[in-house]
Amino acid sequence: MLSDDKKISIRQAIFLFVTASFTPTVRIVPAYAAQKAKQAAWLSPVVTAVLLILLVQLWQVIYRKYRDKSLMDIYCDIAGPAAGTVILIIYLLWMVLLSALYIRYFAMRLVGAIYPNTDISVFIISMLAVIVYTLGFGVTTLARFNEVLLPFLVIVFCLIFIMMIPNFRTDFLTPVSVRSILPVLNASMAPTGIVAYFSFMFIFGDRINNKENINKIGFKMVLFLLITQVVIIASIISTFSYRIAQRTQLPFLAAVKQISVFNLLEKVESIVVSVWVLSDFIIICFFIICILSMLKSFFRLSDPKPLIGIYVIFSYFLAMLLANNVFEMERMSEDIALPVNIILGFVIPAIMFVVGKIRKKV
């Protein structure tokens, strides 16, 4: 039960994170992991799962002390106001960049997958209009909508996986030996860079209830993410082999295009694209909520809702100025975004935890 209707439960927050992580997982992880670990790529989420369990434990320990605080309050208390503010400005700038990146990816994918030669502005403006409308109702409405969306997403994903099974060649997933350990560690950079968003969830931690259950629900989440990430990578590699997977732009979509059930059920990629769009919607909303929460905290605003409209117009132009083509965005994701995500999502919380222990604040 929620004690406050403006708050969401930790379960709803984790559901938001899981839905948000679907779109980057499907887009970047298979090709990146196949490139780094070849046929052993499907093992890379195991490394990520171990790191994510540690991150969940870390946040559980932090929230035993800081019950109703946001990430901003926690960092400022542990590191001091000056150092905390500098770190949080970096978080804010990164969130602004990520929100623009995901807006652009959403439109580029639609154009690349099913609507070639269409102006991306059409999709971006439509999506942003829906986002402005939804965010006007607050995070609780979004979380409740997501509670309906996530099971639907999981069912669609399971059905697609079952339909992909006839195309699988399990010999593409082997051989795996001791010599695969280093490449697998290297490949785990992509899934780890994505699950780092778990820490960003606590930017609106003051609006999340029953955080004493982070550990319990977090462990289930890690298990779920481990299974889905392994299944996504394994299904792509066992359909095409790693050689094709590492060179394909949207390998999951390409694998889904191969589906043919008794020559009757074909062209199911439109279902994947629609699910993908819903996940894009959640991740863009997620980052905009984070940005507004940070603005609220920095400038001691009473209500950041009036800023939604103008921020969305701002992010439209930022998304348009961000890149000229999809290759620039892919390079940005692989060379800059993944390492920065890991630093902000894993390294800085770990440093804060250690500093907090030394200063006896955690």
Binding site for another protein (CB under 8 A): 295, 299-304, 306-307, 309-311, 313-314, 317-318, 320-324, 328-329, 331-332, 335-336
Q: Which is nearer to another protein, 263 or 325 (CB)?
A: 325
Q: Is 284 left (phi over 0), alpha (psi -120 to 50) or beta?
A: alpha
Distances (CA, A) of 332 to 102, 325, 337: 12, 11, 6
Helix (H, G, I), strand (E, B) or coil at 261: strand
The CB-of-344 to another protein minimum distance in angstroms stands at 16
Q: Which residues contact 98 (CB under 8 A, 6 or more apart)?
A: 287, 337
What is the widest separation between alpha-carbon atoms in the chain? 65
Q: Which is nearer to another protein, 170 or 325 (CB)?
A: 325
Contact yes or no for 64/57 (Cβ under 8 A): no
Q: Which of 246, 55, 18 is nearest to 149 (CA)?
A: 18
Q: Which is nearer to another protein, 29 or 323 (CB)?
A: 323
The CB-of-218 to another protein minimum distance in angstroms stands at 33
The CB-of-281 to another protein minimum distance in angstroms stands at 21
Contact yes or no for 270/114 (Cβ under 8 A): yes
CA atoms of 59 and 314, how far apart (whole Å): 32
The CB-of-104 to another protein minimum distance in angstroms stands at 10
Q: Which is nearer to another protein, 137 or 317 (CB)?
A: 317
Q: Which is nearer to another protein, 226 or 329 (CB)?
A: 329
CA atoms of 230 and 311, how far apart (whole Å): 36
Q: Which is nearer to another protein, 224 or 317 (CB)?
A: 317
Radius of gyration of the chain (CA): 20
The CB-of-118 to another protein minimum distance in angstroms stands at 16
Length of the chain: 362
The CB-of-78 to another protein minimum distance in angstroms stands at 26
The CB-of-320 to another protein minimum distance in angstroms stands at 5
The per-residue DSSP string of 38-51 comes to GGGGGGHHHHHHHH
Contact yes or no for 239/258 (Cβ under 8 A): yes
Q: Which is nearer to another protein, 168 or 314 (CB)?
A: 314
Structure tokens at 341: 């995500």
Q: Which is nearer to another protein, 307 or 350 (CB)?
A: 307
The CB-of-65 to another protein minimum distance in angstroms stands at 29
Q: Which is nearer to another protein, 295 or 355 (CB)?
A: 295
The torsion angles phi and psi of 264, rounded to 5 degrees, stand at -105, -50
Alpha-carbon dihedral sign for residues 103, 292, 133, 12:
positive
The CB-of-72 to another protein minimum distance in angstroms stands at 16
CA atoms of 73 and 297, how far apart (whole Å): 8
Contact yes or no for 33/183 (Cβ under 8 A): no
CA atoms of 278 and 358, how far apart (whole Å): 43
Amino acid in position 117: N
The CB-of-287 to another protein minimum distance in angstroms stands at 16
SS (H, E, C) 110-122: HHHHCCCCCCHHH
Q: Which is nearer to another protein, 4 or 303 (CB)?
A: 303
